[in-house]
């Protein structure tokens, strides 16, 4: 993986803030030409530094009013069993995030649900029907902040001039 330049970081920071940021603004901020900015972005996409460009939707607007954090403990921590559970969890569209972790629990899941019944059905499918799940602990999320994943990027003194 090749190193990223200061202007690459500026490009990433601006695009993370707004995927539709005008190339001209980025060019001005970095001191590069529009064509160069475009080539850098293409390169960042090709290198998969930029993984995707997505639209963040308010879950409540489409009926998902509840969020849960579920800590899952497995009976046996065999690699194939762990992988099998992760695949099942990931495959479920209501499982927003899936972390395989050290400590008391083996997995932490962030789960969206329309209501309590919806969540209960999901736990049955995901946990009760899996003999390898020892137990799971559910926390209701009362407030979530910073739902979308933003990577901290250093704000470097750009070479751009005052015309920005």
Partner DNA sequence: GATGAAACCGTTGACGC
Partner DNA sequence: GCGTCAACGGTTTCATC
| Tokens coding 64 | 């998902």
Angle at 155 between CA 162 and CA 11, to 5 degrees: 80
Place of tokens 């690459």: 8
113: left (phi over 0), alpha (psi -120 to 50) or beta: beta
* Beta carbon of residue 135, minimum distance to a copy of itself (angstroms, whole number): 13
Q: Based on CB atoms, which residue is closest to DNA, 34 or 82?
A: 34
Contact call for residue 33 and DNA (CB under 7 A): yes
Contact call for residue 47 and DNA (CB under 7 A): no
For residue 29, the tally of other CB atoms under 10 A from its CB is 20
The helix (H) or strand (E) run that includes residue 112 is strand 107-113
Contact call for residue 39 and DNA (CB under 7 A): yes
Instruction: Single out the segment in contact with a copy of itself by CB under 8 A; choices: 26-34, 53-61, 73-81, 156-164.
Output: 53-61
Which stretches of the chain bind a copy of itself, using CB under 8 A?
Answer: 1, 4, 9, 12, 15-20, 47-62, 64, 67, 69, 86, 89-90, 93-105, 108, 110, 112, 137-153
Which stretches of the chain bind DNA, using CB under 7 A?
Answer: 20-24, 32-36, 38-39, 41-42
């Amino acid at each position: 993986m090749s190193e990223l330049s200061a202007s690459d970081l500026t490009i990433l920071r601006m695009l993370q803030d707004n995927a539709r940021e005008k190339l001209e603004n980025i060019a001005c901020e970095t001191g590069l030409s529009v064509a160069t900015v475009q080539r850098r972005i293409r390169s960042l996409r090709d290198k998969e530094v930029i993984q995707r460009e997505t639209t963040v939707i308010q879950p409540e607007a489409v009926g998902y009013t509840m969020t849960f954090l579920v800590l899952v403990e497995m009976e046996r921590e065999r690699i194939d069993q762990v992988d099998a559970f992760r695949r099942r969890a990931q495959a479920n569209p209501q499982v927003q995030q899936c972390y395989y972790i050290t400590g008391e629990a083996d997995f932490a899941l962030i789960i969206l649900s329309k209501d309590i019944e919806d969540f209960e059905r999901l736990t049955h499918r995901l946990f009760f029907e899996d003999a390898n799940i020892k137990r799971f602990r559910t926390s209701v999320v009362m407030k979530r902040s910073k739902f979308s994943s933003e990577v901290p990027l250093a704000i470097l003194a750009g070479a751009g001039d005052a015309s920005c």
